[in-house]
Amino acid sequence: MPVNDLGARSAAIRKRMEAASGVGFGGEPPDNRNMEARVSKLEQDFAQINDKLNAVTTDVAVIKSNYATKADVAEAKNSIIMWVVSAILLAQVLPMLLKKFGL
C-alpha cells in the first residue's frame, strides 16, 4: 500500500472521528472547538440531576418516617391474636352464660 494512500485514509478517519466526537485533533492541545458548550450543558444537566436527587432524598426520608418497624408489626400481630382469641372465647362462653341466667 503506498504511503500517500495511508495518509489520505488516516486523514479521512481523523475527520470522521472529529465529526463524531466534536473534539478536533489538529491543535495544541487537542482542538476542542465546542468544549465550552459541552461543559455548559453538563453543568446544566448536573444541576437538574442534583435537584432530582434532592427530591428523591426527601421522598425516601418521608417513606422511612412512615413505614412500620418490626416492633410495630409485632405489636399489631399480638393485638390481632388477642382480639381473635377473645372473640372466640366470648362466642363459646356467652351462650352458656345466657342459658345459665335464663336470658
Mean pLDDT of the chain: 84
Q: How many residues does the chain have?
A: 103
SS3 call for 8:
helix
The CA-based diameter of the chain, rounded to the nearest angstrom, is: 120
Neighbour tally for 48: CB within 10 Å? 10
Q: How many domains does the chain have?
A: 2
Domain residues for the domain of 72 are 68-102
Q: Which of the two residues, 17 and 91, has the higher pLDDT score?
A: 91
Give me the helices (H) in the chain, please. 3-21, 35-66, 70-100
Q: Is the pLDDT of residue 23 over 70?
A: no
76 and 59, same structural domain?
Answer: no
62 and 74, same structural domain?
Answer: no
The per-residue pLDDT for 29 is 58
Q: Which of the two residues, 29 and 17, has the higher pLDDT score?
A: 17
- Mean pLDDT to the nearest integer, 36-40: 83
The per-residue pLDDT for 17 is 76
Cell digits of residue 84: 381473635
In a domain, 9, yes or no: no
In a domain, 16, yes or no: no
Q: Is the pLDDT of residue 2 over 70?
A: no
Which amino acid does the sequence have at 32?
N
The per-residue pLDDT for 12 is 82
76 and 62, same structural domain?
Answer: no
pLDDT in tens, 40-90: 899 999 999 999 999 999 999 999 999 989 999 999 999 999 999 999 999
46: left (phi over 0), alpha (psi -120 to 50) or beta: alpha
